[in-house]
Amino acid sequence: MKCVCCGSDSVTERPDLTARGYRRFRCRGCGRQFSERSAGVLNRSCLHSDVIAFVVFCRLRYRLTLRDLSEIMALRGIDVSYEAVRDWEAKLLPVMGDALRQRRRGTGRQSGVSWYVDETYLKVRGRWCYLYRAVDRDGNLIDAMLSEHRDMKAAKALSADQPHRPASS
């Protein structure tokens, strides 16, 4: 682990844990102490990161309102305001979106060599568009693109994002 302050590799792990159960470290370069949570987006949060991630997951997966979600968490014994849920959502969504995009594009794990393009016609915000999806042999989504036109230019724009993967029909 690197130091969150100076970026040094000379870091020692301390034997004790934080009050929330995270590992603690000390940098030999600058002398500062930090935990494994210090560099994250939830550094100053009072609750454990797993609880916060669960709340945001429930908000997205089940489309609960902020107030309903705070009520449900209160029933479980966790006092959370709806403003806190909104703040967590604003902090975590960009991070989660980046991680999902990397995984979708195949950088998180090796995707197949051959891939196929699927297209469908759908309405987005009142306008009809073509949705092009690149799918590998295992059915994993590699890339997706919306286009107003169905032509060779739109199809090539999707395959231009995949230069290391040869297209197959």
pLDDT digit string (tens) for 108-141?
Answer: 445 556 777 888 888 888 889 888 888 777 666 7
Q: In terms of residue numbers, what domain contains 156?
A: 115-160
Is 167 within a domain?
no
Give yes or no: residues 25 and 61 share one domain: no
Asked if residue 92 belongs to a domain, the reply is yes
Write down the mean pLDDT value for the chain.
81
Give the total number of structural domains in the chain: 3
Asked if residue 91 is part of any domain, the answer here is: yes
pTM of the full predicted structure?
0.53
Residues 96 and 125 in one domain: no
Three-state secondary structure call for residue 127: strand
Terminal Cα-to-Cα distance of the chain (whole angstroms)? 45
Q: Is 165 within a domain? A: no
Let me know if residue 95 belongs to a domain: yes
Virtual torsion, Cα 51, 56, 57, 63, nearest 10 deg: 140
Least confident span in 25-34, 71-80, 121-130: 121-130
